Structure 1
């Protein structure tokens, strides 16, 4: 009887520990990137616990504390103080893109995993340094894009891989809105989003990264042969230091892509058209997908699909982070959040900036 009681207590203790380990302790590095609302306003699952926030701007932190009901005792002046006091297992970076390197330089040697908001870094040099640290210290370094969680994109790729529209030949990806100032982003975000020292560029970096990320995924990690880009500044009064319009052309041996990144769309959009030899797949947004199969010269048959949200944990960046850290998901190098994919994204973006600056096509090494 005594042995049975000991066994029962052991099993209870094991299950309690296992339940505790399931919850990932997350620290937040910065609050100036307004994508942080995604995390702060997230439904209260038991998969994560926000143990600390590093944000020196106490007025900003107090504003969000009031909005979301967290205690200001969670807020620390620096990343060092927050980590020392709370020992997070992972850090989510919601500061400037330029600050991503600093976060990884601090977190990686301590074995702390990192998820940054898109894009991975402000430059290819920073991205390569971050990758080197992640590999050296064996941490996960993920990049979060809104479009990663669009169910239509995953349904589109499944249908493309199944050959429903034939071999891939052309992709058109459009992302953007009216511009940060016009849509009313807060001053803390606007100050760095429209400054090249902190964001790297304007619309080219902010929205061009989506297309480069999706195209790298669709092409199974294949490097483009060349990158050609044109940028414009159509709102100099609102974006005096950076571009607000970018068109990026990627060429591959048997396909090409046009990425249209803009702060000048009258209506915000994140959509994609994928053309094969037999037809087209249109991901109009995160829920609506269309397929057209060619008939004759300009005829077609169209089907429309309303795609359901993907299942947990691949429907949400923070659930995905937990699953990756806990070893429940073995990500592929081509995955949308993967380090390898996003290193190539940075190579494409840097080539695009060079092309726009010089007026010449940039050929990438094989």
Structure 2
């Protein structure tokens, strides 16, 4: 049975703080959650919002440019560039699902999110994170075939395969996240609806339950290890084989480009550190956990256009051509 929460919100002497009175009734529906932002750093949230806003704009503009270049130029409708466009689309969606709400909390204080809205945000956050990992795996495989088996590239990576890969990664994300949503619906909430976070995250919601959320934690851990965990293993294996092949080539430029792919480690390091500390890091300060949770959703989308877009000659020349058509012509 769920409990209904009627929220009476009134301002206290300090700006940005809210006094909340929660009362129970015999109803069976949870009306809303209250997202508080960064606990202990409320007075600094307006300043923290400045770099987050700047990084958010960079991520959206950079990924939009990369998508536009690939879509507009039919010469770039090849597997490598199509995967880059998928990654850019995923990054834009991931940023827009989380950052606007987060900035609103930083600027105006704690914010209410209805129960359906919170579950919807949770679904998209986790689904997009899984699809990001899947796209990175597809890009690693594309790079592996191009470097280690170039003669089989055209046969293995056909145009029809790209659309199938796109549908498969969406299906995988939905299939993995839906059970997590259902497990949240089976929990009983009877104490508090205050989430000390900037967005609706699975374990942040589950920890508010009165009954045991062990099944939620076990499923989340198992799903992460069998999806993003395996993705990371296969990506690492692919790039190890790529580096071994590249080191045998005389081209110093090729070796430099291969090292650039190690930025993937940032995505997985931040994600897994945040994932495990939410479950086992009881001694880690809460505001540190929340900052890391926001960074792993925001930093990779900001860096991906730089690492993959700016270092790809065709995309770089097209972007520069928007400002200087003559330079693009000379570059090509």
Identify whether the pair has TM-score above 0.5, normalized to the shorter chain: no
Which structure features the higher share of helix residues? 2
TM-score, normalization by structure 1:
0.24
